[in-house]
């Protein structure tokens, strides 16, 4: 597994470029984690009937207790560091939440997406991870880091979006909208709650989508707005979601209003694995 490569001509060795390089290197390290999404070997939807799952021990089902596994003789999982044998109910898992049960050098992910329980084995030696060569990206350019203004809605708006898996839908809370000017155009993006407290997340496509960047979506994390609503959108840090690499992902699609009409020639490009 090699480090990431920047597809465009290398940018000058400025502090801006060096900061981006350090950020992208850390992002790649997380992506290539031994039990990250590149290690997922299958996406399984358990039913009421116990069934085996390739790459996982036991028989798996789901009921009012959530996902249940019935381990065979000599089989064991570690859940929250404690050994589990025989029958184990994982209990209800919140939407977009998950539990990782350790099985040898593998992890069995139990999660809930789009209102349905899923099971995804993660094996470090999966070829997608073992052969990963990094993600190409545009060379960082300060012109793609723009200042915008965040305006909160009176109340967060539940927003239903599609998913990389046909027929699946996700519901996100949209706390507000971001307005900004880029390349002379007045634009706006609906924002979702981010991963860190107060931060924001936008899913978007643009005129590069399906050409040089992944067709379905890209994601941009935005630090918490300043007191006056000012935010910085650094599109150099636009990243791919897991569905850009694997068909075993349930990634959300952007809301219709987040389809930008101009090319955002910044951030991560189509992965080598999809070319």
pLDDT at 11 over 70: no
- Whole-angstrom distance, CA of residue 272 vs CA of residue 212: 11
The whole-angstrom separation of Cα 26 and Cα 221 is: 15
pLDDT tens-place string over residues 185-201? 999 999 999 999 999 99
Mean pLDDT score across all residues of the chain: 94
pLDDT over threshold 60, residue 1 = no
Cα separation, 122 vs 268, whole angstroms: 24
Residue with structure tokens 């597994």?
1
For 107-118, give one letter per residue: b (16+ CB within 10 A) or e.
bbbbbbbbeebb
Q: Is residue 6 pLDDT above 90, yes or no?
A: no
Contacts of 229 (CB under 8 A, 6+ apart): 149, 150, 151
Q: What are the CA-CA distances from residue 209 to residues 28, 112, 125, 206, 213 (Å)?
A: 21, 28, 31, 5, 5
pLDDT at 139: 96
Q: In sequence order, what are the beta bridge partners of 191?
A: 176
Q: What is the pLDDT of residues 165-189, one digit of tens each?
A: 999 999 999 999 999 999 999 999 9
Q: What six digits make up the tokens of 35?
A: 């039990």
Report CA dihedral (179, 183, 185, 191) to the nearest 10 degrees: -30
Looking at the predicted structure, is the pLDDT value of residue 113 above 70? yes
Lowest mean pLDDT among 5-9, 129-133, 165-169: 5-9
Do the Cβ atoms of 40 and 247 come closer than 8 Å? no
In whole angstroms, what is the distance from residue 173 CA to residue 170 CA?
10
Report CA dihedral (267, 252, 197, 186) to the nearest 10 degrees. Answer: 60
Q: Is 151 helix (H, G, I), strand (E, B) or coil?
A: strand
* Domains in the chain: boundaries: 37-130, 136-274
Q: CB within 8 A of 126, min separation 6: which ones?
A: 38, 39, 40, 41
């Amino acid at each position: 597994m090699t480090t990431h490569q920047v597809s465009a001509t290398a940018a000058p060795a400025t502090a801006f470029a060096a900061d981006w390089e350090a950020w992208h290197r850390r992002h790649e390290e997380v992506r290539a984690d031994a039990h990250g999404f590149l290690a997922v070997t299958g996406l399984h939807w358990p039913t009421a009937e116990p069934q085996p799952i390739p790459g996982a021990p036991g028989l798996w089902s789901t009921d009012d207790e959530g996902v249940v596994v019935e381990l065979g003789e000599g089989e064991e999982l570690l859940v929250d560091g404690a050994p589990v044998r025989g029958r184990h109910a994982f209990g209800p898992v919140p939407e977009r939440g998950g539990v990782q049960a350790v099985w040898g050098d593998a992890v069995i992910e139990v999660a809930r997406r789009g209102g349905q329980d899923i099971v995804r084995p993660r094996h470090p030696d999966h070829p997608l991870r073992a052969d990963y060569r990094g993600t190409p990206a545009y060379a960082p350019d300060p012109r793609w880091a723009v200042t915008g203004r965040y305006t909160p809605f009176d109340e967060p708006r539940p927003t239903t979006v599609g998913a990389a898996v046909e027929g699946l839908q996700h519901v996100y809370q949209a706390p507000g909208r971001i307005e900004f000017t880029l390349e002379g155009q007045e634009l706006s993006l609906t924002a979702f709650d981010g991963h860190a407290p107060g931060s924001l997340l936008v899913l978007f496509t643009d005129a590069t989508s399906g050409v040089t960047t992944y067709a379905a979506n890209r994601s941009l994390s935005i630090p918490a707005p300043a007191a006056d609503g000012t935010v910085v959108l650094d599109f150099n840090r636009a990243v791919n979601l897991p569905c850009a690499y694997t068909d075993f992902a349930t990634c959300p699609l952007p809301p219709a209003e987040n389809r930008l009409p101009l090319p955002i020639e910044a951030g991560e490009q189509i992965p080598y694995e999809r070319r």
